[in-house]
Structure 1
Amino acid sequence: MFKKTLLLLILIGFSACHTTQTVVRTTKKVPSKTTRTATRIPRKPTPSRPVAATSQPKAASSSGQQGQEVIVSTSKTVVYTEVVNDYVNQFKDIAMGNMKSYGIPASIILAQGILESGAGKGDLAVSANNHFGIKCHADWTGESVRHDDDSDQECFRKYKDPAESYRDHALFLTTRSRYSGLFKLPKGDYEAWARGLRAAGYATDPRYPEKLISYIERYNLHQYDSQVLGTEFVPFEGQPVKVSNAGTSAAVAGTYEVQKGDTLYSISKKFSLTVDQLKQKNNLTDNALSIGQRLVVQ
């Protein structure tokens, strides 16, 4: 009986093995993604707005075209050619008067005035009528102002008007022994005078002579030396800035251009001055006037 039962179990087991299905799992093959290479398409450049070019100083021209002038002395001043022209026009007669009276070349006086005062627009010229950067020194008893220069808050002379500054400049050079060598130089040799001023210690800037000479030659300031000395004036080619001598009596503020028939007396009355005041403002030693001469009246 036992054997029959065992045999029956074996048969059942064998049958079950053959009827069981084998399950096969299939995985759907997913196509791989194609790798794309990114291509950059250059964008068309966006039109840029035009940028104004920084203006550069222009060379002086005979047509009166304005060029920028940067003047650095006791202060940094930016002016234009016309401002320098007006400055020369305003003070050329005083400069020539000082040349006659004191022996200092008019070209040197004007060049120093332009450089030291920023053509009348510098800090010291505006606040103190100081056109030559003259410091107080021990012998100065007049008014003064404080201004940064070689040292902080140095003492500089203050004047009631520019004419007084021009007169003091002449006295400053003629009364100090260290400048005595200048007056042995030819009056028409502005280059020697420019170098002599630096050698005598007027300024600490090593390029001081070159700056003065540059102003003289660019603005033809030596023409005023020629007028005083009675020599022929030869303008520099390529440096044709022309200081106009034409115009009405109101061409430059604070000055008057002498007209035909004018006298010191008539001009003084016109501007509520005395004759002595008018002569003092313009460093005049006599009553002689010439048509076209420009006088300081304020």
Structure 2
Amino acid sequence: MKKIAVIVLGVLVFGCGASKRSAQTQKDRDTTRVVIDKRTTGTTPTNTDAVKEAEVPKTTNYASPTEAYIAQYSGIAQEEMKLYGIPASITLAQGILESGSGKGRLSVQANNHFGIKCHEWTGERIYHDDDRRQECFRKYNHSKYSYRDHSLFLKERKRYRGLFDLKIDDYKGWARGLKAAGYATDRKYPDKLISLIERYQLHRFDHEVMGAAPRTVVSSHVKTGAKYVVEKGDTLYSISKKFNLTVERLQQLNNIKGTTIDVGQVLVVNQ
């Protein structure tokens, strides 16, 4: 009987010890998990959703998606202005208009804010209905590459060359010049850009850049003065009448021989 009692007592003691060690081990595991979570997120989450929530940065509440878009991308537009001479106001207005303030499918799924199509593109692509069904558009890893591609698109194509003869803060001239050079088929495209710029005071970003490093992009062969971007259907005669000039005076101001002018060409119309 004594032997049986000793054996039972030993089993009970062993069982209690094992339970304590098991509980202690589980406690240590729980403690270790919490410490790792704290180092990673700065909180003590209890599930995966809490970890994800803690990693999402808090953002300012804006009155509209457009104002949020401006706050997010104005710095990139200003940097492009410094590098390529395109008004930040124009770049932002185009981005707002063509991406639906960053809510459009191309901007959300492809970081493509300007609707730039594939053409000779060798990178990733996305297909989207536009002028035709399922057209090919460029897909970027980050929105900033879309902005850079937009700058290069304007800078490297001959038909937009006249825009860079305008003053860099002449957003109205740029808006009309883009339409005249064939950037968009919508006849109200310039008015839409100008409306966005003035409604949200996007020209302030141009002035900030110019205040830091004042610059005016004007070709050496064009005299200073008020300028006009040639649109489809314009002639020297029609332009001269519009600005109360003679054709001869218009030719003289712009060093033009003959009567040939090109769409997108910038003409001095006052001095």
TM-score (norm 1): 0.49
Moved over 4 A (4+): none
Structure 1: runs of 5+ lacking an equivalent: 1-65, 67-79, 232-298
1:208 pairs with 2:153? no
**Equivalent residue for 2:115, pick from 126, 133, 139:** 133
What aligned pairs does 1:103-252 form with structure 2 within 5 A after superposition?
103-137=85-119, 139-230=120-211
User: What is the distance in 1 between the residues matched to 2:176 and 2:150?
Assistant: 17
Please report how far the alpha carbon of residue 152 of structure 1 lies from its aligned counterpart in structure 2 after TM superposition: 1.3
> How has the CA–CA distance of structure 1 residues 194 and 116 changed in structure 2, closer, same or farther, with 3 Å as cutoff?
same
1:95 pairs with 2:77? yes
Amino acid at match of 2:86: I
Structure 2: runs of 5+ lacking an equivalent: 1-60, 213-271
User: What is the distance in 2 between the residues matched to 1:223 and 1:149?
Assistant: 33
The share of aligned pairs that are identical, in percent, is 64
Q: Whose RCO is larger (CA < 8 A, sep 6+)?
A: 1
The number of aligned residues is: 152
Please report how far the alpha carbon of residue 82 of structure 1 lies from its aligned counterpart in structure 2 after TM superposition: 2.0
Please report how far the alpha carbon of residue 201 of structure 1 lies from its aligned counterpart in structure 2 after TM superposition: 1.2
Q: Which residue of 1 aligns with 2:66?
A: 84
Q: Deviations over 1:5-60 (max 9, x none)?
A: xxxxxxxxxxxxxxxxxxxxxxxxxxxxxxxxxxxxxxxxxxxxxxxxxxxxxxxx
TM-score (norm 2): 0.54
Question: Secondary structure at the residue paired with 1:230?
Answer: helix
Amino acid at match of 1:154: E
> How has the CA–CA distance of structure 1 residues 188 and 147 changed in structure 2, closer, same or farther, with 3 Å as cutoff?
same
More helix per residue: 1 or 2?
2
User: What is the distance in 1 between the residues matched to 2:211 and 2:68?
Assistant: 24
**Cα RMSD after superposing both structures:** 1.6
What aligned pairs does 1:269-280 form with structure 2 within 5 A after superposition?
none
